[in-house]
Chain A
Amino acid sequence: MGDKQDKKRGQAHAGISRRDLLRSGVAGAVGLAAAAGALAGSKPGDAEPKLGGAGGAHAQGLAGANGDVSPDGFDATKFLKTFDYGRVSTLPDGQIQREYEITAVDREIEVAPGVYFAAWTYNGTVPGPTIRCTEGDRLKVNFTNGGSHPHTIHFHGVHAAEMDGVFEIVGPGETFVYEFDATPMGFHLYHCHAIPLKRHVHKGLYGAFIVDPKEGRPEANELLMLMNGFDTNFDGANEVYAVNTVAHHYQRHPIEIEQGELVRVYLGNMTEFDLLNSFHLHGNFFRLYRTGTDLERYEWTDTVMLCQGERAVLEFTYDYPGKYMFHAHQSEFAELGWMGIFDVKPRTLV
């Protein structure tokens, strides 16, 4: 940080700039003041601490957003494990069809306790519903635009151009049906692709799209985490960072997992404005499957960095019980809300 620059800017607080002060002869007073202090029997400097509040607030765990969000709104804890498998039917040729109803709605959401954001949502929440299917399924997504602006749904995956949700803009009150086969297997995303793209994304039109491999993945405690941020004052930078929208939610409400159980995190990055986001796991390492498109692990690590729109599948098991943090390894994002805790419960003996 440019020290001199900051100090210059900060001088406004004193009310009168240093130059003005000097000119009106005020600064000279200080030498006298020091002398006066000495005369008074105590140097003013004595009272000044070298480190304000050493061992203070952090030790008491005071960092973090104040209070809690309304219980009537979005439940980020529930959202972790809520997967939408759609209305399932079998087509004449034996293919499984999953049908989804998605409506774009303008809605005010609580992104940090007491902080409300005028969002554009899919089905009323940010992120939108987590669409989950198996590779090769037929997907039919009935999209209705109930919002005030033109929107689309752009699914990541392999499909026909007219199903890509880019040129087929859906105006307010209009509908569109997206139909395609779910492929390839992996962890994907969907989001609005109407322009200006940046605005439609940061206002909240995105969600997770999981395509399970036909043979399935090993049984695990599965958690969906979409890293995101909110520019509440529209200055082109995020004031709030989180996984699944609510700042510090999993710090206030730690995610309970069991010692020894396999945990699988579907981690995606839908943060706007910042080029990168990351995930760091405390007291453990995880197997990393980039984009989840391969069942061979890519890396054995404790930190992964994802670009905007990138995602990965993480698998890990805790050997020891206790509370473990997970957060962005960009400290700034962590302290602006992207911080959570895994509460590892001791294994129940059978």
Chain B
Amino acid sequence: MNPHDHEDDDGAEASSASITYASDAPPAGGAPSDGAARSALQGRMALAAKGLFPLLLLAGLLAVFVRVGPIGVFRAAFPPIEELTFERIAFPEPGLVRVHLVNGGPEPVTVAQVIVDVAYWEHTVVPDREVGRLDDIVIDIPYPWVDGDPLIVTIVSSTGVTFTQEVAVATQSPQVNRSYVLTFALLGVYVGVIPVFLGLLWLPFLADVSQRWIDFFLSFTVGLLLFLGVDALEGAFALTGQVASAFQGVGLIVLGVVGTPLVIHAVGRVARGDSAITPLGISILIAIGIGLHNLGEGLAIGSSYAVGEVALGTSLVFGFLLHNTTEGLGIVAPLARSRPSYAMLAALGLIAGVPTIFGTWIGGFSYSPTASVLFLAIGAGAIVQVILVLGRSMGSHGREGLRGPLNAAGLVAGLIVMYATGLFVAA
């Protein structure tokens, strides 16, 4: 896009305002260059008018439509399609079930009754039983839920349409208090921060190997990231079915996967100007990418922990440490020939690891499928950007890039290591 046009959008109104004031008082002097400036401004105004004309017509048409109503043929005799989507079913305390719903359908929906485990139950609705489009509500049901049992909630609308959600295991939901905040934070530290820092300790090893082998480990990193990216994307697509249709789960994925790398790229370009990207720059990008991915991972951990779906086991902890420590290796691989300060290394580790903590908080305390899809897609998008940057840098200065036999082997090795450590996790 032409930057000049871009400027015009924002500047048009202010310029036209100032020209009006100027022409209000022409006798008060009148500079010699007045005519030239005026014609330039007139040109920009004309351009703005050309851009705005279709929008004005559209606004007029919409106004008529709202006032007069839709044309008769658009109306149908059958009842409107109603849609309510469950965002979350929480168990804040014994004897209370709290249901969060959003209306993602085209028409308002009125909540008439609530059925819990196939029994009508009294309840309160906040703020209102009539739920407008894109509005959300919270229903409190004083129901004696049983710890460890499944639970089914059905909402009956005024037209008799039902919306049902099952909870596999009812268990007390985490409350925002010191104990849980700390628990989730520690969870994030173990899951995201510690393994990443462990991986950073490979830097001295990398400093002593040849460029050929550094490229091998960079390719290895690409393999790891590719695995994580596809994993995040798969998770995002799997969730789209639970996103209210108005919020367009697939649309969010496109936005996250395509938008994130472009934004990171643009920000990077503005920050460093025309100079080429440094190894440290690449490492920062990788750290951001892994950090965004870990945010999504934290969400998954927090929400699963909150609904009591995660099982315990030493072998799982073992596998998990193996699995995520590789992320740290990925971050330091581009720095093999640099001498980064300890502070910089720590910063990289924090950028990659700390988002996990935020993820567990968000997932644990206010899980929403919509937010999860977006976060997972952003994570996948960030990884796409990192892979592009790594691939390009490895292909420069006479290096072989990812197509070189050793590097290709490195990439596949990265995929295999992720898969193999994943097997440990699933044990």
Residues 90-112 of chain B, each 1 if its beta carbon lies under 8 Å from chain A, else 0: 01001110000000000000101
Contacts of B122 in A (CB 8 A): 57, 62-64, 66
The verdict on A301 contacting chain B, using a C-beta distance below 8 Å, is: no
Which of B168, B242, B372 is in CB contact (< 8 Å) with A7? B168
Which of A24, A65, A239 is in CB contact (< 8 Å) with B297? A24
Contacts of A13 in B (CB 8 A): 86, 89, 165-168, 307
Residues 108-122 of chain A, each 1 if its beta carbon lies under 8 Å from chain B, else 0: 000111111110000
Whether the Cβ atoms of B95 and A56 lie closer than 8 Å is yes
Report the separation of the CA atoms of residues A31 and B315 in the bound assembly, to the nearest whole angstrom.
9
The verdict on A16 contacting chain B, using a C-beta distance below 8 Å, is: yes
Whether the Cβ atoms of B146 and A36 lie closer than 8 Å is no
Interface size bracket, A side: 35 or more
Tell me the B299-341 residues at the A interface (CB within 8 Å): 299-301, 303-305, 307-314, 316-321, 323-324
Given contacts A53-B143, A232-B161, contact A25 B323 (CB under 8 A): yes
Tell me the A44-78 residues at the B interface (CB within 8 Å): 44, 47-58, 60, 62-66
The verdict on B179 contacting chain A, using a C-beta distance below 8 Å, is: yes
The verdict on A248 contacting chain B, using a C-beta distance below 8 Å, is: yes
Chain B's nearest CB lies how many Å from the CB of A253?
Answer: 16
Which of B143, B175, B304, B312 is in CB contact (< 8 Å) with A34? B312
Report the separation of the CA atoms of residues A120 and B76 in the bound assembly, to the nearest whole angstrom.
20
Chain A's nearest CB lies how many Å from the CB of B312?
Answer: 5
Report the separation of the CA atoms of residues A233 and B82 in the bound assembly, to the nearest whole angstrom.
11
Chain A's nearest CB lies how many Å from the CB of B377?
Answer: 14
Whether the Cβ atoms of B183 and A30 lie closer than 8 Å is no
Report the separation of the CA atoms of residues A108 and B424 in the bound assembly, to the nearest whole angstrom.
60
Report the separation of the CA atoms of residues A66 and B305 in the bound assembly, to the nearest whole angstrom.
33
Given contacts A26-B301, A28-B316, contact A53 B96 (CB under 8 A): yes
The verdict on B290 contacting chain A, using a C-beta distance below 8 Å, is: no
Whether the Cβ atoms of A36 and B422 lie closer than 8 Å is no
Whether the Cβ atoms of B150 and A26 lie closer than 8 Å is no
Whether the Cβ atoms of B145 and A52 lie closer than 8 Å is yes
Chain B's nearest CB lies how many Å from the CB of A190?
Answer: 25
Considering the complex, give the chain A residue whose CB is closest to the CB of B79: A118
Residues 4-47 of chain A, each 1 if its beta carbon lies under 8 Å from chain B, else 0: 00111111111111111111111111111110110111101001
Chain B's nearest CB lies how many Å from the CB of A172?
Answer: 16
Whether the Cβ atoms of A66 and B144 lie closer than 8 Å is no
Given contacts A10-B168, A13-B168, A51-B147, contact A21 B300 (CB under 8 A): yes
Report the separation of the CA atoms of residues A247 and B160 in the bound assembly, to the nearest whole angstrom.
13
Contacts A/B (CB < 8 Å), 30 sampled: A11-B309, A13-B165, A13-B167, A16-B372, A21-B310, A22-B422, A25-B422, A26-B310, A27-B316, A27-B425, A28-B316, A28-B318, A28-B323, A30-B313, A33-B187, A33-B305, A44-B179, A48-B172, A51-B147, A54-B95, A64-B120, A64-B122, A66-B121, A66-B123, A112-B156, A114-B129, A116-B158, A118-B79, A239-B162, A247-B120
